[in-house]
C-alpha cells in the first residue's frame, strides 16, 4: 500500500495518497475504537492497563485507556486528542466520541468506494450535524426534580464504581458543585477550587466535603495556640527569610563588625515585617516558602501563629475562602490584603497532623477521599472527579437528554426523514451519518449481550409508537428492557451529547479532508492492535 516516491523533496518520506490514505486512516480509527468500544456503558468491561514501568490500572474509562496507550498512527492520535478535548470540555462522553468518529469514517469510506467524493461527504456530515444539534435542543429539557439531577450524575458514573459508592460520591459532587455555582473561571475551575486530600482512615463511603481548607501542616511554633475561633489572616506568596549574605558580590566583608551589622540589619527587617503584620491585627500568617527561625520567635511574641511551605494552589484556595490577597513581599502588605478566617483547628489524618482553616467567603473547599487502600482511594477520586466535572457543568447548563441510546435512535430517525430535503448526493452522506449515530445503542446492546440489530429495531419501533414520549425510550442495559429513560433515571447532560457529536464530526471531517499522508521515515506504525483489523 505504501508507495515510496523518489522525488528529491520526498526522499525520506513514505507516501500514502488519495484512496489508500483514507483506507489507512479509517483503519487506524476503527482499530482505536475497537480498543475502547467494549467499555461503553455500565455493562462495559474493564481494561487492565500495564505501563512500561509495570504499574497497573484497571479502568472502564475510555479516555484513560487511550491516554495510556502507546499509539503512533497520526489518525489514531487525532482521535485521542478529540477524546481528550471531550474530557476537558464535558468530563464525560469520551468513549462515545471515539466510536462515533470511527463509525462516521467507516460509513464515509463505503460511500467513497461507491463513488461519492469526500468533499460531498464532508458537506453532508456538516449539514447532518447542524440538523442533529437543532433537534437535540428541541428534545432536551430541564431536570424536573432533584432526583433527576442526581440521576444525571449517577448515570455518568454508572459501571465505573459500585453502586452504593456511586450514590455517595454523587451526593458529594452535587454538594461541591452547588458550593461553586455562579463562580467564574476557566475550564478547570472545579478542579482548581476543590482540593483533594487522600485520607487513609475510613472507607471510601466515608469520604466527605469540608467547606474549608485542610492542609497537611502544623504550626511552626508549638507555643502558639493550636486552635482559634477566627481572626485576621495574611498570606505571603514568598518568604520571611533573612536576606542572603552574598559574600563576593554585593558586600565586602572587611571585618567581623561589618558582618555583625549586616545580620543586625537583616534582623531589623524581619522585625519590621512582623510589626507591620501586628499593626494590621493579623494573628494568622501563612507563608508559601520559608520562615526564618528568628522570625518565628518574633511572630510568636507578636501573637501571630505562623505556617510555612505550601503549594501555591492551596494558598489560592485559602485566599479565596478568607477574602485575602496573596502578597509577594511581606513588607508591602496592606490593610485590604488581610482577610478573615472563621476558625482554625488541628486534626490528625492518616497519622499526620493537619490544620483546618475555615473562611466565610466560599468558593473553595476540600474533599477528603477516604479508603482503605491506595487503589480504592484513587478509584474513588477518579469517580469523584468525573462526577464533580459533570455536576459542575450542569449548574451552568442543566438541559438533559435521554441516555441508553434513545437520543441517537431518535436523531438517526430524524435525520433519515430530513435527508430528502437536501440536494443530490449529500443525502447519501446524511443517511450514512444517521446510521453512524446508531453505533451508540448498538454498542450498548452488544456490551450487555443483547442482539444489537434487534435492539435498534425494537427501540425505533417503540419510539415511533409513542407519539408523546417516543424520543425518551431507550435501552436499560441493566434490565435489558426498552423503557422510558427518565423513569429509569438514565439521563445524559445535553452538553455531553452535543460536544461528543460535534467533536466526532469535526474529527471525521478532518480525516476525510486528508488526501495525502507523508510519513517521515521513522518507524511510524499503525497501532499495536492493528492485527485485529487485518481481517477486514
Residues in touch with Mg ion (CB under 5 A): 92
Q: Between 321 and 440, whose beta carbon lies closer to Mg ion?
A: 440
Q: Between 319 and 508, whose beta carbon lies closer to ligand ADP?
A: 508
Q: Per CB under 6 A, which region of 45-53, 89-97, 112-120, 280-288 contacts ligand ADP? A: 89-97
CB of 238 to ligand ADP, least distance (A): 43
Please say if 337 is a catalytic residue. Answer: no
CB of 11 to Mg ion, least distance (A): 46
Q: Between 90 and 111, whose beta carbon lies closer to ligand ADP?
A: 90
Backbone torsion region of residue 208, taken as left when φ is above 0, otherwise alpha when ψ lies between -120 and 50, otherwise beta: beta
Backbone torsion region of residue 419, taken as left when φ is above 0, otherwise alpha when ψ lies between -120 and 50, otherwise beta: alpha
- From CA 151, how far away is CA 170, in angstroms rounded? 9
CB of 70 to ligand ADP, least distance (A): 20
Out of 95, 224, 300, 355, pick the active-site residue: 95
Please say if 61 is a catalytic residue. Answer: yes
- From CA 423, how far away is CA 433, in angstroms rounded? 15
> For residue 151, which of 503, 382, 449, 484 has the smallest C-alpha distance?
484
Helices (H) and strands (E) in the chain, counts: 18, 18
Judged by CB under 6 A, which of 132, 165, 475, 494 binds ligand ADP? 475
Q: Between 166 and 324, whose beta carbon lies closer to ligand ADP?
A: 166
Query: How many residues touch ligand ADP (CB under 6 A)?
Result: 23
Q: Per CB under 6 A, which region of 191-199, 255-263, 268-276, 471-479 contacts ligand ADP? A: 471-479
| Residues 292-331: x where in contact with ligand ADP by CB under 6 A, - otherwise, as a string | ----------------------------------------
39 binds, among Mg ion, ligand ADP, none (CB under 5 to 8 A by kind): ligand ADP
User: Exposed, middle or buried: residue 250 (CB in 10 Å: 0-12, 13-18, 19+)?
Assistant: exposed
3-class DSSP state of 166? helix
Element (H, E) at 246: none
> Of residues 23-52, which lie at the interface with ligand ADP (CB under 6 A)?
39-42, 44
- Tell me how far CA of residue 523 lies from CA of 35, 514, 526, 527, in angstroms: 22, 21, 10, 12
Does residue number 101 form part of the binding site for ligand ADP (CB under 6 A)? no
What backbone phi and psi angles, to 5 degrees, belong to 156? Answer: -70, -20
124 binds, among Mg ion, ligand ADP, none (CB under 5 to 8 A by kind): none
N- to C-terminal Cα distance for the chain? Answer: 15
Q: Between 134 and 187, whose beta carbon lies closer to Mg ion?
A: 187
Please say if 95 is a catalytic residue. Answer: yes
Out of 39, 57, 75, 94, pick the active-site residue: 94
Q: Between 79 and 287, whose beta carbon lies closer to ligand ADP?
A: 79
| Residues 488-517: x where in contact with ligand ADP by CB under 6 A, - otherwise, as a string | --x-x-------------------------
Does residue number 291 form part of the binding site for ligand ADP (CB under 6 A)? no
Q: Where in 396-465 does DSSP place strands (E)?
A: 400-402
- From CA 337, how far away is CA 522, in angstroms rounded? 56
Does residue number 62 form part of the binding site for ligand ADP (CB under 6 A)? yes
Q: Sign of the CA dihedral 79, 84, 90, 96?
A: positive
- From CA 356, how far away is CA 317, in angstroms rounded? 13
Q: Which residue is nearest to ligand ADP (CB)?
A: 403
> For residue 74, which of 36, 126, 21, 113 has the smallest C-alpha distance?
21
> For residue 193, which of 496, 398, 397, 395 has the smallest C-alpha distance?
395
Q: Per CB under 6 A, which region of 15-23, 161-169, 226-234, 476-484 contacts ligand ADP? A: 476-484
Q: Which residues partner with 49 through β-bridges?
A: 57
CB of 172 to Mg ion, least distance (A): 18
Judged by CB under 6 A, which of 57, 82, 94, 324 binds ligand ADP? 94
Q: Do the bridges between strand 208-210 and strand 365-370 make them parallel or antiparallel, or are there none, so unpaired?
A: antiparallel
| Catalytic positions, written as ranges | 61, 94-95, 386
Q: Which residues bind ligand ADP (CB under 6 A)?
A: 39-42, 44, 62, 92-96, 155, 158, 403-404, 440, 444, 475-478, 490, 492
Amino acid at each position: 500500500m505504501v508507495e515510496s516516491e523518489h522525488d528529491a523533496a520526498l526522499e525520506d518520506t513514505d507516501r500514502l495518497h488519495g484512496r489508500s490514505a483514507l483506507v489507512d486512516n479509517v483503519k487506524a480509527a476503527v482499530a482505536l475504537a475497537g480498543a475502547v468500544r467494549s467499555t461503553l456503558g455500565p455493562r462495559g468491561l474493564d481494561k487492565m492497563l500495564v505501563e512500561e514501568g509495570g504499574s497497573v490500572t484497571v479502568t472502564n474509562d475510555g479516555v484513560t485507556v487511550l491516554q495510556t496507550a502507546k499509539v503512533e498512527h497520526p489518525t489514531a492520535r487525532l482521535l485521542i486528542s478529540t477524546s481528550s478535548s471531550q474530557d476537558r470540555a464535558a468530563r464525560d462522553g469520551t468513549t462515545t466520541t471515539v466510536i462515533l468518529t470511527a463509525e462516521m469514517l467507516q460509513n464515509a469510506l463505503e460511500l467513497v468506494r461507491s463513488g461519492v467524493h469526500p468533499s460531498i461527504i464532508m458537506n453532508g456530515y456538516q449539514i447532518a450535524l447542524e440538523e442533529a444539534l437543532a433537534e437535540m435542543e428541541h428534545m432536551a429539557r430541564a431536570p424536573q426534580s432533584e432526583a433527576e439531577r442526581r440521576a444525571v450524575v449517577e448515570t455518568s458514573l454508572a459501571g465505573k464504581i459500585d453502586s452504593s459508592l456511586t450514590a455517595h460520591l454523587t451526593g458529594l459532587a452535587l454538594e461541591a458543585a452547588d458550593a461553586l455555582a455562579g463562580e467564574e473561571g476557566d475550564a478547570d475551575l472545579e478542579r482548581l477550587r476543590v482540593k483533594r486530600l487522600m485520607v487513609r482512615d475510613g472507607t471510601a463511603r466515608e469520604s466527605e466535603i469540608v467547606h474549608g481548607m485542610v492542609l497537611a501542616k502544623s504550626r511552626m511554633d508549638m507555643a502558639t495556640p493550636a486552635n482559634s475561633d477566627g481572626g485576621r489572616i495574611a498570606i505571603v506568596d514568598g518568604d520571611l527569610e533573612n536576606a542572603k549574605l552574598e559574600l563576593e558580590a554585593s558586600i565586602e566583608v572587611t571585618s567581623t563588625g561589618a558582618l555583625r551589622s549586616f545580620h543586625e540589619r537583616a534582623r531589623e527587617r524581619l522585625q519590621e515585617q512582623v510589626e507591620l503584620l501586628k499593626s494590621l491585627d493579623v494573628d494568622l500568617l501563612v507563608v508559601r516558602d520559608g520562615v526564618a527561625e528568628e522570625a518565628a520567635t518574633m511572630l510568636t511574641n507578636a501573637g501571630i501563629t505562623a505556617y510555612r511551605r505550601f503549594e501555591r494552589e492551596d494558598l489560592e484556595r485559602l485566599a479565596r475562602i478568607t477574602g485575602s490577597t496573596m502578597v509577594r513581599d511581606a513588607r508591602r502588605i496592606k490593610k485590604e490584603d488581610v482577610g478573615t478566617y472563621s476558625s482554625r483547628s488541628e486534626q490528625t489524618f492518616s497519622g499526620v497532623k493537619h490544620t483546618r482553616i475555615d473562611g466565610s467567603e466560599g468558593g473553595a473547599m476540600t474533599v477528603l477521599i477516604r479508603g482503605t487502600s491506595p487503589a480504592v482511594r484513587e478509584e474513588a477520586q477518579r469517580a469523584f472527579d468525573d462526577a464533580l466535572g459533570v455536576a459542575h457543568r450542569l449548574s451552568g447548563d442543566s438541559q438533559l437528554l435521554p441516555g441508553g441510546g434513545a437520543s441517537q435512535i431518535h436523531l438517526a430517525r430524524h435525520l433519515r426523514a430530513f435527508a430528502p430535503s437536501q440536494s443530490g448526493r449529500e443525502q447519501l452522506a446524511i443517511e450514512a451519518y444517521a446510521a453512524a449515530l446508531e453505533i451508540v445503542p448498538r454498542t450498548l446492546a452488544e456490551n450487555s449481550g443483547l442482539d444489537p440489530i434487534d435492539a435498534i429495531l425494537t427501540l425505533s419501533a417503540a419510539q415511533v409508537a409513542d407519539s408523546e414520549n417516543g424520543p425518551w425510550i431507550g435501552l436499560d442495559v441493566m434490565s435489558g428492557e426498552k423503557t422510558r429513560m427518565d423513569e429509569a433515571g438514565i439521563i445524559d447532560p445535553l452538553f455531553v451529547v452535543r460536544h461528543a457529536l460535534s467533536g466526532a464530526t469535526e474529527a471525521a471531517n478532518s480525516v476525510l479532508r486528508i488526501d495525502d499522508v507523508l510519513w517521515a521515515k521513522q518507524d511510524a506504525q499503525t497501532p499495536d492492535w492493528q492485527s485485529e483489523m487485518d481481517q477486514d
